[in-house]
Chain A
Amino acid sequence: MKKPVNPRDKRFKIAHREALIGAVLVIINFIWWYGFAYGLGSEKVENYTYIFGLPAWFFYSCIAGFIVMVILVALTVKFLFKDVPFEEEEGERK
């Protein structure tokens, strides 16, 4: 038989925290992406500076931003995410 979900399951505390981390990462990602793109990119094109041949706004926003996010995601998963069992019988039950 299907058992009701126990809202006080300890694993849910971890899950809620991790979902929140996901939301925070998206906000960081967005600010980085938006800040560099429109902060540097709104200049006149004649005044652009270039990095590896690409306009600086594009390099920082899209390329560096991609690399920074990969590193951030990897670090968060490695240090902040916890292993939890998914199966019923191993879970905390009342």
Chain B
Amino acid sequence: MNWGVIAPLVIFLLIIFAVGFWSHKFVLKSNSFLEEYFLGERQMGGFILAMTMVATYGSASSFIGGPGVAYTQGLGWVLLAMAQLATGYFTLMVLGKKFAIVARQYKAITLIDFLKERYQSKTVVLLSAASIIIFLFSSMTAQWIGGARLVESLTGLPYITALLIFAFSVLIFVIIGGFRAVALTDAVMGVVMFAGTLVLLIATIKAGGGIPKIISDLTAENPNLISPFGAERTLTPSYVSSFWILVGIGVVGLPQITVRAMSYKNSKAMHSAIIIGTIVVGFIMLGMHLIGVFARPVLPGVKIGDTVMPLLSMKVLPPYAAGIVLAAPMAAIMSTVNALLILVSSALVKDVYLNYMKPNASQSHVKKISFSVTAIIGIIVIIFSLSPPDLIIWLNLFSFGGLESVFIWPVIFGLYLAKGNKYGAIASMVLGMCSYIIFDRFYPNAFGMHTVVMPILISMIGFIVVSYASGTKIAK
């Protein structure tokens, strides 16, 4: 075992625990348990809000998978990754003040609360809760496995031990601290992610002998690596541009992101979060993917993309610094998992159990249920991660695009289209989900674009047509 690398990771975990316990005090004191546990009493300031958005959004793929692909594809993949710059400002600007105001008027604590009040439909609530539980549950399992693999590769511990260490670290602070702990630890993790990117980028450029040297090495190996078209010239402009839908503007439809857009204190917090978020998300995405490309001359011949980032850190940095840098992907995974965990828990407790099964539950009963549901979900995820069923792997493949296709229009039109009604919302959700699965199975990358594009168009048309058609019928 390499203690130089592990020590910074352990310190990082201890800080995270401290934040969790500190947040637990707020959970105990709060007069409104649900609002505190699932939304941190809407007290997020600008910096925390920006960081929790970036950290929730930045996951294993930004730190492990993405740089690995950039390593094989070259600068074209960095170009593609830069489509994510838009998430920094677009989500908060578009959901923006309207969502914050309306959510408060509805007293909404979850995204589903908002949809429930807006559309007054049980079908909408159950469809949303089902999509959130199924898709986020599977993507949580996938992130969990990624986290455990990372701990395994860093410490040399067996997979099961690594999984348990990773899982219990996350579970403890989420269960006791709720949303506030999630958001605060996200802020710590966002800083770690930012610093890790900066340190590794500088070290890699130095190890490669400066940017001009690296670029000429890349050109000598394969000139396409420095073109926008990818190593085999397979990245077409329309394919790369379609990622603006998947990882740029479509992010507005991800429930783990939208719930954050109702958690902030005031419009000042939102304003500064937009600026900070844009800088941080842009820097991390640009930096990490550029590191992947620059790693190629420094560390030639890596076969498995996912190992580029850990191998590179160990090679170009002294052990303790490698430990700090490798805390970044760990932070990215944890901060995604914790957000998903609290969201799935809120969907079960608040949206299903309290809405339809036991509306008059007492405060202490709600508390008990919330803590235990969060814990049980966590334990089920651990069991699944030990030997992941194929179904989970399959569902995870389209959880991102699938959720976007389901939620983007009910949320956006719910806010900005007065004529939108529950029939439109139901049509849009069902069409979005089904067409996503069908396109994914039978006609992926339709018209040279990512699979997500067509379902989002179809669900938009479905929403508008059905809303207007049913609207006029009712008027008669």
Are the chains A and B members of one assembly?
A: yes
The chain A residues found within 8 Å of chain B, CB to CB, are: 2-3, 5, 7, 9, 11-12, 14-16, 18-19, 21-23, 25-26, 29-30, 33-34, 37-38, 41-42, 45-46, 48, 50, 52-55, 57-58, 61-63, 65-66, 69-70, 73-74, 77, 81-88, 91
Q: What chain A residues lie within 8 Å of B267 (beta carbons)? A: 81-86
Check if B156 is an interface residue, CB within 8 A of chain A. no
Q: Are the CB atoms of B105 and A77 closer together than 8 Å?
A: no
CA distance A52 to B211 in the complex (A): 7
B209-254 with Cβ < 8 A to chain A: 210-215, 219, 223-224, 226-229, 237, 241, 244, 248-249
Q: A26-B248, A53-B215, A88-B104 are in contact. Are A19 and B275 (CB under 8 A)?
A: no
CA distance A14 to B151 in the complex (A): 48
Q: Are the CB atoms of A34 and B237 closer together than 8 Å?
A: yes
CA distance A38 to B227 in the complex (A): 9
Q: A26-B86, A66-B282 are in contact. Are A18 and B93 (CB under 8 A)?
A: yes
Q: Are the CB atoms of A14 and B278 closer together than 8 Å?
A: no
User: Which residue in B86, B96, B237, B275 is a CB contact (below 8 Å) of A18?
Assistant: B96
Check if B90 is an interface residue, CB within 8 A of chain A. yes
User: Which residue in B85, B93, B213 is a CB contact (below 8 Å) of A22?
Assistant: B93
Q: What chain B residues lie within 8 Å of A21 (beta carbons)? A: 93
Q: Which of B21-29, B75-83, B166-174, B434-442 sits within the interface? A: B75-83
Q: What chain B residues lie within 8 Å of A45 (beta carbons)? A: 219, 223-224, 226-227
CA distance A29 to B87 in the complex (A): 11
CA distance A19 to B267 in the complex (A): 14
Q: A19-B96, A26-B249 are in contact. Are A50 and B282 (CB under 8 A)?
A: no
Contact with A along B37-79 (1 / 0, CB 8 A): 0000000000000000000000000000000000000010011
Q: A45-B224, A53-B212 are in contact. Are A12 and B98 (CB under 8 A)?
A: yes
**Shortest CB distance A34–B (Å):** 6
| 28 A-B residue pairings within 8 Å (CB atoms) | A2-B106, A2-B107, A3-B105, A5-B106, A7-B418, A15-B101, A19-B96, A19-B416, A22-B92, A22-B94, A25-B93, A30-B86, A30-B241, A30-B244, A41-B228, A42-B228, A45-B224, A48-B226, A53-B212, A54-B211, A58-B78, A61-B228, A63-B286, A65-B85, A66-B283, A73-B88, A73-B89, A73-B275
CA distance A58 to B86 in the complex (A): 17
Task: Apart from A15-B101, A87-B104, list 6 A-B contacts with CB within 8 A.
Answer: A25-B89, A58-B78, A66-B286, A83-B267, A84-B267, A86-B100
Check if B266 is an interface residue, CB within 8 A of chain A. yes
CA distance A70 to B248 in the complex (A): 16
Check if B274 is an interface residue, CB within 8 A of chain A. yes
Check if B268 is an interface residue, CB within 8 A of chain A. yes
Interface size class of B (residues with CB under 8 A): 35 or more
User: Which residue in B98, B107, B214, B227 is a CB contact (below 8 Å) of A19?
Assistant: B98
Q: Are the CB atoms of A50 and B212 closer together than 8 Å?
A: yes
**Shortest CB distance B322–A (Å):** 26
Q: What chain B residues lie within 8 Å of A85 (beta carbons)? A: 266-267
**Shortest CB distance B291–A (Å):** 14
CA distance A81 to B286 in the complex (A): 27
User: Which residue in B214, B227, B282 is a CB contact (below 8 Å) of A69?
Assistant: B282
Q: Are the CB atoms of A62 and B82 closer together than 8 Å?
A: yes
Q: What chain A residues lie within 8 Å of B213 (beta carbons)? A: 53
Q: Are the CB atoms of A62 and B117 closer together than 8 Å?
A: no
**Shortest CB distance A11–B (Å):** 6
Q: Are the CB atoms of A34 and B82 closer together than 8 Å?
A: no
User: Which residue in B101, B210, B229, B275 is a CB contact (below 8 Å) of A11?
Assistant: B101
Complex A-B, nearest 6 residue pairs according to Cβ-Cβ distance, in ascending order: A22-B93, A53-B212, A53-B211, A15-B98, A45-B223, A41-B228
CA distance A46 to B95 in the complex (A): 45
**Shortest CB distance A24–B (Å):** 10
Q: What chain A residues lie within 8 Å of B465 (beta carbons)? A: none
Q: A22-B89, A38-B237 are in contact. Are A86 and B101 (CB under 8 A)?
A: yes
Q: A55-B226, A66-B286, A70-B279 are in contact. Are A22 and B90 (CB under 8 A)?
A: yes
Q: Which residue of A lies closest to B224 (CB)?
A: A45
Q: Are the CB atoms of B228 and A38 closer together than 8 Å?
A: yes
Q: What chain A residues lie within 8 Å of B271 (beta carbons)? A: 77, 81, 83
Q: A29-B86, A88-B104 are in contact. Are A83 and B223 (CB under 8 A)?
A: no
Check if B97 is an interface residue, CB within 8 A of chain A. yes
CA distance A87 to B103 in the complex (A): 10
Q: What chain B residues lie within 8 Å of A54 (beta carbons)? A: 211, 215
Q: What chain A residues lie within 8 Å of B266 (beta carbons)? A: 83, 85-86
